Structure 1
C-alpha cells in the first residue's frame, strides 16, 4: 500500500499514531513567517476525545474555497475538548501542498484548560498555519500535536 494512502487510512480509521507516517517537519514559530505575507486563510472545527480528534475545515486560497477533513493526535493522555480556530496560511504555492501531516510543538505541557489559544503548524511541504481559536474542555498534553489534513473536494 502506498505510504500516504496507508497513513491516511490509519488516521481516519481511528488509529491515533501519526508520528511514524512521515518525516517530522520543523516546528514553526513567529520567526518562521517574519517578512512573509499570508497567501490564504483557514477555518476549522475539531473535537478531541482521549488524545485523538477529528474535524473539518475550509481553506480559502486564490479566491476559491477548498473543504478538508482532519484527524489529529495529542502526544500525551489527551482529554475531551472542542476546538474552533481560524488563521492565516503561509508558504502555499500549489493547492496540492496543503494536504499532509502538520506538526505543532510549541504548545504547553500539562493540563490545558485555556479558553483561547494560538497554534503554529507546519507540514513537510513548508506550508505554515498560524491559528487562533477557542477551546471548550480540557486536554493533557506533552506539548506536541500532529494533524493530518486531506482535501475532500475541489
Structure 2
C-alpha cells in the first residue's frame, strides 16, 4: 500500500511540475507595433468585424492534439471556401471527434491576407462535449475569433497554431 501511495504522489508531483512549467509560444515578434484596432497584446480587436466564417471538422489526432477541416469565409459579399489544420504546441493529450464553430474576422483588408499561419495562446479542458472560444492572429494582423463546440475528451495546455489555405475553385 505504501508503494501505491508513493507512485500516486510521484505522479501527481510530475503532473503539477509539467503544468506549472508550460510556457506559451508566441509566433509574433514582440517589437512589432500592433495592427490598427488591436491592443498591445494583439488579442482583442476593436471595431466591427471585416468578415464572418464557419468551420467544421470530424478528424482526430492524439498526444499533441489537433484538427483539420474545412470552412467558409464570408467577405465583402463573396463566399470563400478554405481548409485548415490546427495543432496544439503545448502539453496535452486529447481525442477530438468533432469541431463546429463560427467566428468573426477582424482587420482583413484583402482576401490574400486571410491565408497563412495563425498563432493562439489557449488552454482547454474537454469532457464529453464542451464549448470553446479561441482567438487566432496571423502575421498580417488578421484576427479570427472563434466560438463553438468540441466533442471529445482530453486536456490541452499551451499555444496552438492553425494554417489556413483558400480552396481555389
Provide TM-score, normalisation by structure 1.
0.74
**Deviations along 1:3-62, whole A, 9 cap, x unmatched?**
xxxxxxxxxxxxxxxxxxxx8137643xx213x110100100123311232110110000
Q: Corresponding residue for 1:17? A: none
Partners of 1:140 and 1:65 lie apart in 2 by 34
Q: Corresponding residue for 1:7? A: none
The reply to whether residue 120 of structure 1 matches residue 135 of structure 2 is yes
Q: How does 1:23-102 map to 2 (within 5 A)?
A: 24-25=27-28, 28-29=42-43, 32-34=44-46, 36-46=47-57, 47-50=59-62, 51-75=65-89, 76-81=91-96, 82-102=98-118
CA RMSD of superposed structures (Å): 2.0
Structure 2 residues not aligned, in runs of 5+: 1-25, 30-40
Question: How many angstroms does 1:119 deviate by?
Answer: 1.0
116 and 25 in structure 1: CA distance in 2 versus 1, 3 angstrom threshold: same
Q: Corresponding residue for 1:135? A: 150
The reply to whether residue 108 of structure 1 matches residue 123 of structure 2 is yes
**Deviations along 1:93-118, whole A, 9 cap, x unmatched?**
0100001111110x226x43361111
Q: Corresponding residue for 1:16? A: none
Partners of 1:25 and 1:42 lie apart in 2 by 23
Q: Corresponding residue for 2:14? A: none
48 and 78 in structure 1: CA distance in 2 versus 1, 3 angstrom threshold: farther
Provide TM-score, normalisation by structure 2.
0.68
Residues paired across the two proteins, number: 127
Q: Which moved more, 1:70-79 or 1:124-133?
A: 70-79
Cα pair 1:25 1:102 within 8 Å, conserved: no
